[in-house]
Chain A
């Protein structure tokens, strides 16, 4: 006899123990005896660590005052950071000219926001501004010209210098890295050899030695009288170094795109650059976002290595401050401040990349 089901089973809500706060806690934190113990131990350890960190940096910390003597509490002496804040932010950039840097920050922040966020429907104009006009404005704003007094790059420093180094290197490294990655996959042997040679050479040496070479050897290759700024030399070194890393990251993304995508693009009559620019790269870059941002974050932190060629980035300025005889013994505060500042920027990049990944997700998972 055939068995036929005629009525549809009614839709029931899931059992309450599986949903809501209770369900979540039960499943994730207290699913077993061992898991419950681990949860409690972890909460205890986290509480211990956090409570002492919070009391050191906030509850028992000293905020008011002008000198070391004002720091009477048992916690951190933030007076030190406050007193030297200007130098930490701008290095030896003349105090009366620091508004120029601030304008640069504001313009950059606005441009960056318009390009990275979803507020503008077409990103063409903000992109032209940020990548075409903004660098020129910044050059004159920071360096001088058009009636603005000249500020030598040797006076630049602090967080300002760190941001200049990081943004210029990122700005150069990504496009250059993409070109190198495409070159490495090119069918033209000469192009391929040049790209492979460059990538493997640069990737195989430490950044410090690249900076040294850029600083010491670059002038030797230049004709007599041509002398690059020390900052420019460091920028060239860092950009080329990160471009080599970026190239490998992008290549990984390119290799993950099925061959069929390029074939489909070709069969529709799209040429090489159109196929790459419209079909392959958008997908390859999208899947490489985590790795690209990883490289950016690494690069951002590696800017501290420029102290080796005598540039005063945030870390070196703060470090110099700790040796000031009026503020001796406050190295911890200095390093905590530097660490926190770097963390804010890096965490921001990381969150942005997660937001971007979600935004670009179009319902196909690989």
Chain B
């Protein structure tokens, strides 16, 4: 606990999870998660399916509720206080596996909705910002189309732009490429890499080990609701310590 208290004092951290636990009913899904993410740090979270990776990052913006321990985002502790939850959600962007674009709004409206309604940005300014980010994800020409008219890769890039329009300090990626056709994965990963190069704080749940090797400062391996191993990518891939990590790596790299 003294170590935890020390970590809490560390105000430079973007995200801190301290002794966090979560249950679904009787099922103990997350067990004693301790994780500190520095500003600008890129973390890749991997692990077998059902290991709690997604649940963990969904706790960070309170899409899931944790029952024990602390989550501190940008100096604000997540509690039941709705105001604090909204404050954190404004600063934390999230990209989902299934994009979750709003199908009844155009690409541009998807990007301007939250800035206009949440940040109260004037409409013209919001459109300008949205176009800037759509250009960055290389699809400004699709701005007036509906999400249903775009390919999966394009939709995911719109989803990234939509999050960026809120100027978040942290981006969470929940398996952003697992629902995509193989030829579209690289366009999304390229967008994420360029985002990482600009110094965004990122936590990515992904199975793209190439991406992990290129951008991650740290790779985190989870299994059965626990963080088993954390290491810089070179160390993680070349010299994994735990047996479970070795088994997992042998399984996924065998196919790669």
Contact = CB atoms under 8 A, between A and B. Distances in A.
Contacts of A265: 102
B62 to A, nearest CB: 8
A363 B149 contact: yes
Nearest to A267: B94
Contacts of B114: 268-270
List 8 tightest A-B contacts by C-beta distance, closest first: A364-B148, A264-B100, A363-B148, A268-B114, A260-B100, A269-B90, A362-B146, A267-B94
A279 B102 CA distance: 7
Interface residues of A, number: 23
B103 A283 contact: yes
A261 interface: yes
A271 interface: yes
Interface in A265-317: 265-271, 274, 278-279, 282-283, 286
A278 B109 CA distance: 11
B96 A263 contact: yes
B104 A286 contact: yes
B92 interface: yes
A363 B118 contact: no
Contacts of B102: 261, 264-265, 279, 283
B113 interface: yes
A46 B214 CA distance: 73
B101 interface: yes
Contacts of A261: 100, 102
Given A269-B118, A270-B114, A364-B147, A263 B100 contact: yes
18 contacts: A260-B100, A263-B63, A263-B96, A264-B94, A264-B102, A266-B61, A268-B114, A269-B86, A269-B89, A269-B114, A278-B113, A278-B117, A279-B102, A283-B104, A362-B148, A363-B149, A364-B148, A365-B148
B42 interface: no
B118 A274 contact: yes
Contacts of A283: 102-104
Contacts of B86: 269, 271
A360 interface: yes
Contact of B146 (A260, A263, A286, A364): A364
Interface of A: 258, 260-261, 263-271, 274, 278-279, 282-283, 286, 360, 362-365
Interface residues of B, number: 28
B15 interface: no
A279 B117 CA distance: 12
Contact of B93 (A263, A267, A365): A267
A260 B99 CA distance: 9
B162 interface: yes
Contacts of B146: 362-364
Contact of A270 (B62, B94, B118, B149): B118
A270 B101 contact: no
Contact of B63 (A258, A266, A360): A266
B166 A268 contact: yes
B92 A267 contact: yes
Contacts of A264: 94, 96, 100-102
Nearest to B118: A269
Given A267-B163, A360-B104, A364-B103, 19 more contacts: A260-B96, A260-B98, A260-B100, A264-B96, A264-B100, A265-B102, A267-B63, A267-B89, A267-B94, A268-B113, A268-B114, A270-B118, A271-B82, A282-B104, A283-B103, A286-B104, A362-B103, A362-B148, A364-B146
Contacts of A360: 104
B117 A274 contact: yes
Contacts of B100: 258, 260-261, 263-264
A286 B105 CA distance: 13
Interface string B91-131: 01110101011111000000001100110000000000000
